Structure 1
């Protein structure tokens, strides 16, 4: 009887041990499969968040770059001129006249500025495109220093506030003509284009492109853009 019992126990062990081992192996397999599924899901979630934050970071950085330019004084110039102002008043049917005159020396500082806070642009995150829609007109500021020499006047025809206002208008008109004939505005535009070029470099570095007037700007075309 003892021999039969031992043989039965041995047979039972031979049956149970492979089953237990199989269960153990299958349990490890289940854990392995579960780990792989979790890893794949985590990878997709991580990549999705990373891509979203990168686009948001790029667009905000480009927008900050444009805003940081602020009000840009691009070019300063100095102009000088000398003129003579004369005025005459006549009385008694032009038989008697009283003249006033002065030698006027003008030194003027002129600045040409673009207020890029008013620039209009659009950020297309989907297509990674910065579109410059409009650039504001340049602001020309004339600061003349007017000095009067060899002033001649009379009691019946003295220098008054009207004379000084008239001289100021004449001076500014003459300076405006000189500015138009000079290279001051051209130099200002070149400086502005260089600022666009800096934005172009930033956008290219981040994989974006810069457009103006519906055309993509490149390193060569940015210097030829008509503002």
Structure 2
């Protein structure tokens, strides 16, 4: 009889150990999945929602003076800037929190749209050198930098940021698709959405 009870106790203990190991393994899997999801979302990094074309005329002029400012030398150029600006979301700035028990990712904060990149193509017209003030490679590099900044300064009045805000839901749905690839769900109820276009609020 005692041997029989010992067998039963042994079986129960074995079942308990197996159940515990399975639950531990499942918990480790869930933890690994949540980390994987967060890494996946951040790997996407930047999501472009809007692009805009710009054509601007930029007047460049540089004057150097010599001999106690008695003599000046001017170089100048008329620069036509053709540019493409990309506006969207830097997904590294989102705030996500995993709920491992419910296999859910909670989206707590979503960034505002920003300028992700600007591509410029410069054409030079009416380019002239001064006698001791000539165009050099460094000047052309500087013009590239100045032209990008010139376009960047124009973006706020172009309406691209506002258009990108209206596309915020598309960016969220991209994250949701990534989350659903391994059977989790995305909860973005903490964010405020309004209007027919579901514009993301600050």
- Scaled by the length of structure 2, the TM-score of the pair is 0.61
Q: Where do 1:73-222 residues align within 5 Å?
A: 73-116=48-91, 119-124=94-99, 126=101, 130-136=105-111, 138-196=114-172, 199=176, 210-211=187-188, 215=190
Is the Cα contact below 8 Å between 1:76 and 1:112 reproduced in 2?
yes
Deviates more, 1:112-121 or 1:184-193: 112-121
Distance 2:81 2:191 in 1: 45
Would the alpha carbon gap of residues 220 and 142 (structure 1) be closer, same or farther in structure 2, given more than 3 Å must change?
A: closer
Larger Rg: 1
**Which structure 2 residue ranges, 5 or more long, are not aligned?**
1-25
TM-fit CA distance, 1:136: 4.7
Distance 1:153 1:209 in 2: 60
RMSD value, Cα: 4.1
**Which structure 1 residue ranges, 5 or more long, are not aligned?**
1-51
1:226 aligns with 2:191: no
Would the alpha carbon gap of residues 218 and 225 (structure 1) be closer, same or farther in structure 2, given more than 3 Å must change?
A: closer
CA displacement, residues 62-95 of structure 1 (integer Å, 9 cap, x when unaligned): x59x849934221111111102211222233333
The structure with the largest helix share of the pair is: 1
Distance 1:159 1:219 in 2: 53
Distance 2:42 2:63 in 1: 55
The structure with the largest strand share of the pair is: 2
